[in-house]
């Protein structure tokens, strides 16, 4: 029996040693592989793949914007007779773009493994490239139809009509800017002034190109298409600048009307918070009291210049309301949270709309990259969700997320605009 036990031990110990060494080797190999996959070199390679996918995605986003205008133009000029390929391509490109931006933002988190970044980036690049090919094919089909059915003179006349309509709808941009400058600080209207100047400048550019296109169309040996295309681009930019002017003008006037009510609502929220503080334990009450005094001091400072800086006032109050909610934490009842959300929501929605309008202009002006655009799309979705939500607390949370995403997008766009070589 003793001999059997000795034999078993003599066999078992070497086996355990072999298995143990093998297990350790496997563990070390797995660790080494994982470390290599997350090494700085692997992460740098993954970032290059993500940047390539982002560049393709930016091209697709630009194409979607162009298609939106072209589809509207086609419907206006040709009464729906043109091929439907542009509309189908636009829907496809929009769907692919939106899904791709969701994926792109997900892999922008540094915690995502490089292998996953490479896999998702490759998928984004492939799908966006296919959508771009679909758009290019639709454009060729549409261009061939226009060439066969519409003369250069007809296109010139149609573009002149659109230019006249734009002039009529714009009215006097200088008058809108003058109205704002007479009542508000420069920071409130400088965006409107820049949009007004840009719109008028692009209208003049469009007119020059249309005149040149008309002269070329009269000569059979010359092509009017280059000047016609340049006129169309200038006209589209003028339309975008005119919309920015009108939106800025509207937001400033709405903020001026809303600011007194927002200040009153903020003071009421502070009074309610003081009542809540009375029911807290001494340490919590002292902490909350200090924060309430700081918030009230900031609110008083904001109020002194509210009439001259209404959009800044509405934005600052929205941030103070968020700070107040954070300070109160779980000290309020559900009914108090609901009441506070209802009073904070209008101003926060206005602040989010203002932040989004400024961000859209920054992203467009800077020709921002995929990171800024993904944040912008997220802000747009959050703002839409805030408007649709029936629960005021959920709507307020979504509006605040929209503000944060818009601010992030604008910071990224401004950085890109200031970067060397931009």
Q: How far apart are CA 417 and CA 107, in angstroms?
A: 24
| Packed helices 310-328 and 392-418: angle between N→C axes, nearest 10 degrees | 120
Q: At a CB cut-off of 8 Å and minimum separation 6, what does 258 contact?
A: 310, 314, 346, 347, 350
Q: Token pair of 103, please?
A: 């994926």
Indicate the Cα dihedral angle 3, 4, 6, 9, nearest 10°: 180
Please, which residues have CB within 8 angstroms of residue 418's CB and are 6 or more apart in sequence?
Answer: none
pTM over 0.85: no
Burial of residue 332 (CB within 10 Å: 0-12, 13-18, 19+) is middle
38 touches 353 (CB < 8 A) = no
- 34: number of Cβ within 10 Å: 12
* Tokens matching residue 166: 């734009």
Query: Cα 324 vs. chain centroid, distance in angstroms?
Result: 27
Residue 139: count other Cβ atoms within 10 Å of its Cβ: 17
Under 8 Å between Cβ of 422 and 381: no
Count CB neighbours of 9 within 10 A: 10
CB 289 within 8 A of CB 295: no
Is residue 356 within 8 Å of 405, Cβ to Cβ?
A: no
Residue whose token pair is 């805030």: 386
CA-to-CA dists, residue 325 to 22, 319, 336, 396, 418, angstroms:
57, 10, 11, 11, 36
- 10-residue averages of pLDDT along the chain (422 residues): 55 57 54 54 86 92 82 65 82 92 90 90 94 91 77 81 88 92 94 93 94 84 77 87 92 96 96 91 91 96 95 96 92 88 95 92 82 93 95 95 94 76 53
Complete DSSP assignment for 117-178: HHHHHHHHHHHHHHHHHHHHHHHHHHHHHHHHH--HHHHHHHHHHHHHHHHHHH--HHHHHH
Instruction: State the Cα angle at 389 between 385 and 393, rounded to 5°.
Output: 105
Whether the Cβ atoms of residue 63 and residue 135 lie closer than 8 Å to each other: yes
Predicted pLDDT at 39: 72
Q: Tokens 């996918």, residue?
A: 53
Domain boundaries, the chain: 1-36, 40-149, 152-247, 249-418
pLDDT confidence of residue 345: 95
Rounded to an integer, what distance in angstroms lies between the CA atom of residue 94 and that of residue 117?
23
Using DSSP's 3-state secondary structure scheme, residue 82 falls into coil
């Amino acid at each position: 029996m003793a001999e059997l036990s000795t034999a078993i031990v003599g066999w078992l110990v070497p086996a355990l040693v072999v298995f143990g060494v093998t297990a350790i080797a496997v563990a070390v190999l797995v660790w080494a592989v994982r470390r290599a996959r997350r090494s700085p070199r692997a992460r740098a390679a993954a970032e290059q793949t993500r940047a390539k996918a982002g560049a393709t995605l930016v091209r697709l986003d630009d194409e979607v914007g162009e298609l939106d205008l072209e589809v509207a133009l086609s419907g206006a000029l040709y009464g729906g007779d043109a091929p439907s390929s542009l509309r189908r391509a636009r829907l496809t490109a929009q769907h692919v773009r939106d899904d791709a931006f969701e994926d792109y933002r997900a892999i922008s988190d540094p915690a995502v493994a490089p292998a996953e970044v490479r896999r998702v980036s490759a998928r984004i690049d492939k799908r966006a490239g296919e959508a771009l090919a679909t758009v290019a094919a639709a454009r060729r089909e549409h261009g061939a139809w226009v060439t066969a059915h519409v003369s250069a003179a007809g296109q010139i006349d149609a573009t002149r009509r659109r230019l006249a309509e734009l002039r009529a709808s714009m009215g006097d941009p200088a008058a809108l800017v003058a109205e704002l400058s007479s009542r508000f600080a420069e920071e409130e209207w400088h965006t409107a002034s820049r949009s007004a100047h840009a719109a008028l400048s692009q209208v003049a550019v469009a007119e020059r190109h249309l005149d040149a296109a008309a002269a070329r169309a009269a000569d059979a040996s010359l092509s009017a298409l280059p000047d016609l295309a340049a006129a169309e681009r200038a006209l589209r930019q003028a339309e975008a600048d005119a919309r920015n002017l009108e939106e800025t003008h509207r937001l400033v006037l709405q903020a001026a009307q809303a600011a007194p009510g927002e200040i009153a609502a903020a003071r009421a929220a502070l009074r309610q918070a003081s009542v809540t503080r009375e029911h807290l334990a001494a340490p919590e009450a002292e902490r909350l009291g200090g924060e309430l005094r700081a918030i009230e001091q900031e609110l008083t400072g904001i109020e002194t210049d509210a009439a001259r800086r209404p959009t800044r006032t509405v934005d600052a109050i929205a941030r103070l309301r968020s700070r107040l909610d954070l300070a109160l934490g779980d000290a309020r009842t559900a009914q108090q949270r609901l009441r506070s959300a209802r009073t904070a929501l209008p101003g926060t929605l206005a602040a989010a709309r203002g932040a989004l309008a400024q961000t859209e202009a920054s992203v467009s002006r800077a020709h921002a990259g995929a990171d800024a655009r993904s944040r912008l799309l997220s802000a747009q979705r959050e703002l839409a969700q805030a408007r649709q939500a029936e629960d005021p607390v959920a709507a307020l949370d979504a509006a605040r997320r929209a503000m944060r995403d818009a601010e992030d997008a604008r910071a990224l766009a401004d950085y890109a605009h200031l970067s060397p070589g931009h």
